[in-house]
């Protein structure tokens, strides 16, 4: 009887799906979601939405399967019956979690769903920079046949900043290249790092020793702009910087200066402080920089896992169940007894 009531409640729910790759590659979550709820509304712009674009969409919406959208206090205030924001991905820096909690809205994410995909792109960017792949490809297509001196990964030192699930997956792959791996993460023990053949060190030591530095930290007030001029000066001369985390971690002006003056050999960037980057962003014109359009999580496996996990989290809340991956579980204590299973 309880299950029947939950199913009936779902049929009254409206879901907004803003994640642009939801159900791509393996589409089964789309018809499943559409069959279980009353209505599914999809992102009309096929890109992450700003707050003012979301506000007219969230009225009478019960759950959001959210991509990299700006879900701030104004959006939450406009959402008159919202019960769950199910992030399609891991980071929740673009969701005002505190405001959602105050409003009794459960926020979830999909931990581990895209760790392998992001780690693979990280290695791809390292290799692309080390072997000057973009330059080699463009030159060859123009009919040239340049002799290019590359950098081998074997024996090089790679510094991983942030040794969570993605950082660990990067370390696993670097071991196959016989790299020396350094890790910086105040929340990780020496024992944990050693399991991945990584040496846990302080940040300044990592920067001074590493031939490649790769960023895998969450965006917080403490990490915003952490890669500034001082950070870059501490890096080993001739090193490469990789960022597949969040663009806001980097002071882009300082990075341009560090590359132009030759202190850094290059950078691989999957994300920018403004996305998409403005057309005259100087990083786009530096041949030493490889850029990709925040595509680290977009592999067939990762897309399916994010689709499935975010949908399951969203539906669980709307059925009155505890989701597998709550970001703000304290909402249940604050709003104990609230009916999450009916609109």
| Digit-coded pLDDT (tens) for 9-27 | 899 999 999 999 999 999 9
List, in sequence order, the alpha helices (H) in 190-228: 190-195, 203-209
Angle, helices 300-318 vs 2-10, to 10°: value is 110
pLDDT score, position 343: 38
Return the structure tokens found at 104: 């009794």
Cα angle: 155, vertex 160, 163; to 5 degrees: 130
Whether pLDDT at 341 is above 90: no
pLDDT score, position 334: 76
pLDDT score, position 3: 67
Please choose, from the candidates 272, 265, 237, 266, the residue with its C-alpha nearest in 3D space to the C-alpha of residue 251. 272
Tell me the per-residue pLDDT of 215-246, one tens digit each, with 9 for 90 and over: 999 999 999 999 999 999 999 999 999 999 99
Mean pLDDT of 69-91: 97
pLDDT score, position 338: 54
| pTM score of the predicted model | 0.91
Tell me the per-residue pLDDT of 204-213, one tens digit each, with 9 for 90 and over: 999 999 999 9
* Backbone torsions φ then ψ of 87, nearest 5 degrees: -70, 130
84-87 and 14-17: which strand pairing?
Answer: unpaired
175 in Cβ contact with 196 (< 8 Å): yes
Angle, helices 300-318 vs 29-36, to 10°: value is 10
> What CATH number labels 115-291?
3.40.50.720
pLDDT score, position 91: 93
Tell me the per-residue pLDDT of 305-325, one tens digit each, with 9 for 90 and over: 999 999 999 999 999 999 999
CA separation for the pair 10, 3 (Å, rounded)? 11
Tell me the per-residue pLDDT of 253-263, one tens digit each, with 9 for 90 and over: 999 999 999 99
Contacts of 143 (CB under 8 A, 6+ apart): none
Catalytic site residue 294?
A: yes
Cα dist from 288 to 144, 168, 269, whole Å = 19, 27, 11
Marked catalytic residue, from 246, 265, 298, 305 = 246
Q: Tell me, yes or no, if the two domains 2-113+299-334 and 115-291 fold the same way.
A: yes
Total residue count of the chain as it appears in this document? 343
CA separation for the pair 168, 116 (Å, rounded)? 9
DSSP state, 222? T
Per-domain residue ranges of the chain: 2-113+299-334, 115-291
> What CATH number labels 2-113+299-334?
3.40.50.720
pLDDT score, position 335: 63
Beta bridge partners of 10: none
pLDDT score, position 58: 98
Mean pLDDT of 82-96: 97
Beta bridge partners of 240: 212, 266
Categorise residue 300: left if φ over 0, alpha if ψ from -120 to 50, beta otherwise: alpha
Catalytic site residue 47?
A: no
276 upstream amide cis, omega within 30 of 0 = yes
Cα dist from 322 to 95, 159, 269, 318, whole Å = 20, 38, 37, 9
Marked catalytic residue, from 34, 39, 53, 275 = 275
Catalytic site residue 275?
A: yes
Beta bridge partners of 85: 64, 107
pLDDT score, position 340: 53
Contacts of 23 (CB under 8 A, 6+ apart): 29, 30, 307
């Amino acid at each position: 009887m309880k299950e029947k009531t939950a199913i009936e409640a779902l049929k009254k729910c409206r879901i907004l799906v803003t994640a642009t790759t939801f159900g791509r590659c393996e589409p089964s979550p789309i018809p499943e979601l559409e069959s279980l709820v009353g209505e599914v509304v999809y992102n009309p712009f096929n890109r992450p939405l700003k707050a003012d674009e979301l506000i007219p969409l969230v009225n009478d919406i019960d759950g959001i399967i959210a991509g990299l959208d700006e879900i701030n206090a104004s959006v939450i205030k406009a959402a008159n019956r919202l019960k769950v924001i199910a992030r399609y991905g891991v980071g929740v820096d673009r969701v005002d979690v505190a405001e959602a909690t105050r409003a009794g809205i459960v926020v979830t994410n999909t931990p581990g769903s895209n760790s392998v995909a992001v780690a693979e792109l990280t290695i791809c960017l390292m290799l692309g920079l080390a072997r000057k792949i973009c330059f080699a490809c463009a030159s060859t297509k123009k009919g040239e046949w340049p002799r290019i001196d590359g950098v081998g990964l074997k024996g090089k030192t790679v510094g991983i900043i942030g040794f969570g699930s993605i950082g660990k997956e990067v370390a696993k792959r670097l071991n196959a290249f016989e790299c020396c791996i350094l890790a910086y993460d105040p929340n990780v023990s020496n024992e944990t790092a050693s399991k991945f053949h990584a040496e846990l060190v302080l940040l300044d030591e990592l920067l001074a020793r590493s031939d490649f530095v790769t960023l895998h930290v969450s965006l917080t007030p403490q990490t915003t702009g952490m890669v500034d001029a001082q950070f870059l000066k501490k890096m080993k001369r001739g090193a490469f910087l990789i960022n597949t985390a969040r663009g806001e971690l980097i002071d882009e002006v300082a990075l341009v200066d560090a590359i132009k003056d030759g202190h850094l050999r290059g950078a691989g960037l999957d994300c920018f402080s403004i996305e998409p980057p403005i057309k005259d962003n100087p990083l786009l014109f530096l041949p030493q920089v490889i850029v990709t359009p925040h595509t680290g999580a977009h592999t067939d496996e990762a897309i399916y896992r994010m689709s499935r996990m975010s949908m399951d989290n969203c539906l669980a809340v709307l059925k009155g169940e505890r989701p597998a991956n709550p970001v703000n579980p304290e909402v249940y204590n604050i709003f104990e007894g609230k009916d999450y299973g009916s609109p």
